[in-house]
Structure 1
């Protein structure tokens, strides 16, 4: 397959004909066609040939047609990389074309790095797509790295970047339901170990992983038990949760006084009136939540234990009819007596899930 494509010279415009000018674009077209004629051995073209064309068109090639010069160079790079190998002869030709096309070392390096990284990146994506990197795949990537003349650091960065993405995508998908199962947790560790990376997670994501792992455990596994409860509980009890809460109960309070009955006003002075008539006062009241006490709450497999600054309270789990979780606490519906609202500052979700699980298992 040919590296370069022959091009026809641009015809002079009407003005060019009048001024007897030749389109200067034909200079780079002639150089392109010179490359076509010698693409089997581009080393045969010397700088004198290029300079002769530039002089004929009265141009400074190092300042003209840069995109077109880049394109010629890029075509040869693509040809070199068709077999994913850059051999010694191709390296020499690349250096020769750099001089013929007036390219700098930095420009050549940038273009070569871009194309070789793109190939290596593509092969790495295929290798790690299943979340595994076998020894055979490692060996092939090592050979490819050497054939593409990539540095160890560059190859390592490309591998790490793709591996991190595979692991992150797996984690994002695993916790999309806000749960992290045993199987998903093990798979996450397998991917991490096989690809030789540690999950690159921010603090919030790590916290979410731990919480979603606990969610799944609460719903499907063995509930975590406090080995040394800080309070005395029965031998048949296990302590599963403890935290600080405000114990609230509903209290009826008077919000305002309404006055009823026929009335009339008589002015006796500027801004002063007598209110005359029959007046009947009526209190308007409503139930509001009021903090009764603050203290520590303990959840066992049999009861809720509250130890506050003003006293202790106990609710047996089999006396709970329903619970209504909120962002800031849980409304406990009892079968008798006042039903409290337990106000939490943190972990209301963990408490609610554990309580539901324990009630269901009664």
Structure 2
């Protein structure tokens, strides 16, 4: 059953002066051609019937309505390609349509390329929707390429753009979800292998994926211990050490006694997206020194003063781009300033606190 691609359109009524001078609205010529396409199968519309329209309106359609004729051809071509497959009947109808519309070979070829690019890209996106490009889909895409005589350069560009777009979208979803598991890392590799391309990301994406890889390890794998050059209890293990840290006390802090409250996703989101700027302005500098994190407490060994915060006294962690605010069961809560590795310190601290809560 033939599908009506074109729809009947009512003719434009002549204006007062057109009636007075017995003139036909010129736009009705292309409307009549549209209605022929809407009523009759393309193969039944002769060049003579188109010529009759031109004679009645005393115009040459290809000169007056070139873009409309090209649109008729493009609409039909796009319809033929809805299933990505041009049949012999389609080729015959397209050739006949080209004839009655007086389209030259170069114009038809250009339209094939324009429509073909859109159609080929759409089918390519569907072919790799599951992250794999199998041989059957490659054969299907190759047939579309050949039917439309798409330039190899165009095909290669579309292929590369669609594949890289899929992989970048997959990576961006990982970053948005803040979770890079080993399974997701392996899937990235599997996608790239199926597409036969190298995994390449911009500097920002590469750095964020690397940070998420580290965050997953800090959350899920056994924490590695580090050597500690200070005296700690026999039951203590040290998991973090940095020699350049600062201890600040928060000014004008209103203590609110609550249970420990921290969302690890919020910690990750903050440190993944923040810039390295000092945005903590409401603190009082106390001392500089070395920072240690054990399975029981935070230890700060300063030049003039020391600080010891046990995990059960911590109520809340608030991330800052250059450190972490620690609310505790005293009026004087603190800000630990770390120039590097603030995210690692905060994630390890959050994990250790939750283990004892």
Report TM bin, short chain.
0.5 to 0.7
Unaligned segments of structure 2, at least 5 residues: 252-281
User: Residues of 2 paired with 1:37 and 1:334: CA distance?
Assistant: 85
Q: Tell me, what secondary structure is at the counterpart of 1:20? A: coil
Contact 2:180 2:216 in 1 (8 A): yes
Larger radius of gyration: 1
User: Residues of 2 paired with 1:163 and 1:305: CA distance?
Assistant: 50
After TM superposition, the score normalised by the length of structure 2 is 0.65
CA gap 1:66/1:175 in 2 versus in 1, 3 angstroms:
same
CA gap 1:218/1:39 in 2 versus in 1, 3 angstroms:
same
**Are 2:216 and 1:216 aligned?**
yes
Contact 2:180 2:213 in 1 (8 A): yes
CA gap 1:344/1:15 in 2 versus in 1, 3 angstroms:
same
- Where does residue 313 of structure 2 map in the other structure? 321
Contact 1:323 1:330 in 2 (8 A): no
CA gap 1:224/1:127 in 2 versus in 1, 3 angstroms:
farther
CA gap 1:163/1:45 in 2 versus in 1, 3 angstroms:
same
Q: How does 1:114-153 map to 2 (within 5 A)?
A: 114-153=114-153
- Comparing 233-242 with 120-129, greater Cα deviation is found at 233-242
Q: How does 1:212-361 map to 2 (within 5 A)?
A: 212-224=212-224, 237-242=237-242, 244-248=244-248, 290-301=284-295, 304=298, 306=300, 308=302, 310=303, 313=306, 315=308, 321-322=313-314, 324-328=316-320, 329-331=324-326, 333=328, 341-359=335-353
User: Residues of 2 paired with 1:359 and 1:6: CA distance?
Assistant: 69
Contact 1:243 1:297 in 2 (8 A): yes
User: Residues of 2 paired with 1:169 and 1:69: CA distance?
Assistant: 39
Q: Given the alignment, which residue of 33, 39, 43 partners 1:40?
A: 43
User: Residues of 1 paired with 2:207 and 2:290: CA distance?
Assistant: 24
Comparing both structures, which one devotes a greater share of its residues to helix? 2
User: Residues of 2 paired with 1:18 and 1:355: CA distance?
Assistant: 90
- Where does residue 271 of structure 2 map in the other structure? none
Count the aligned residue pairs.
318
After TM superposition, the score normalised by the length of structure 1 is 0.65
- Comparing 93-102 with 125-134, greater Cα deviation is found at 93-102
Unaligned segments of structure 1, at least 5 residues: 252-287
CA gap 1:332/1:10 in 2 versus in 1, 3 angstroms:
closer
User: Residues of 2 paired with 1:242 and 1:55: CA distance?
Assistant: 90
Q: Tell me, what secondary structure is at the counterpart of 2:179? A: coil
Contact 1:86 1:149 in 2 (8 A): no
User: Residues of 2 paired with 1:45 and 1:135: CA distance?
Assistant: 43
Query: In the TM superposition, what is the alpha-carbon distance from 1:302 to its structure 2 partner?
Result: 6.4
- Where does residue 155 of structure 1 map in the other structure? 155
User: Residues of 2 paired with 1:206 and 1:53: CA distance?
Assistant: 63
User: Residues of 2 paired with 1:63 and 1:104: CA distance?
Assistant: 13
User: Residues of 1 paired with 2:34 and 2:246: CA distance?
Assistant: 85
Compare relative contact order (CA 8 Å, sep 6+) and give the higher one, 1 or 2: 2
